[in-house]
Amino acid sequence: RTNVCNASRHQRDFHIAPMLDVSTPEFRNFIRILSKRAILWTEMVVDETIMYSNNLDYHLAHEEHLKPIICQIGGRNSEYCGQATSIVEKYGYEEVNLNIDCPSSRVSGERKFGAILMKDSQTAYNVVSSMNQNAKNMKISVKTRTGIELEDGEILDTMSHLINFVGELRKCGCRKFYIHARKCVIGGLTPAQNRLVPPLNYPRVYELCKHFPDCDPY
């Protein structure tokens, strides 16, 4: 991933994106052996897991040599996500990321977080506000899409919708965004297909940069 709003910057960030059942502690240690420069991510850790797990170290503990590393969380309960943010910071992370990107039937369908928060936007704003209020010195970021197509046929895939969504998240204290430059289709495509089938829309991401020069989109 590259900071698309600062094309003049010579150094490019190299992120190992979070992958369910892949970005395990063992995998992160392996990648760090291969690259000292890569920015690592945890798997998405659900807010309830952080609140109630009996083995939280497995999900969040990391050694100093693994930095830089980003912890990604998922959830729709603003209180839980806020408390989870505080816990993540105590584990020494410098950035916590909210997943508003996952289109899976279990996450966006049954649990109603992930990409579906592009539709349920007020919940997204409440969650990010709570995360921002609970973070002391840690960056808050959001990973999201350029648009969403819902099972009932509703399509929220316009520049104006994206600008409004990001703009409101910005007001809630988020200044860093990881934009998956394609819409997702809830129900009609699998998570794997959602990474390939909807066409890429880089012009929309570049346009987003112009609207929010004080933000940091990747």
The residues that are catalytic are 102
**Closest to 42 measured CA to CA, from 14, 16, 75:** 16
Structure tokens at 39: 């920015």
What pairs with residue 184 in β-bridges? 148
- Cβ atoms of 181 and 201 closer than 8 Å: yes
Report the C-alpha gap between 199 and 120 in whole angstroms: 23
Report the C-alpha gap between 142 and 123 in whole angstroms: 14
Neighbouring residues of 16: CB distance < 8 A, sequence distance ≥ 6: 23, 28, 31, 38, 39, 40, 41
Report the C-alpha gap between 21 and 206 in whole angstroms: 32
Distances (CA, A) of 138 to 37, 85, 135: 20, 9, 6
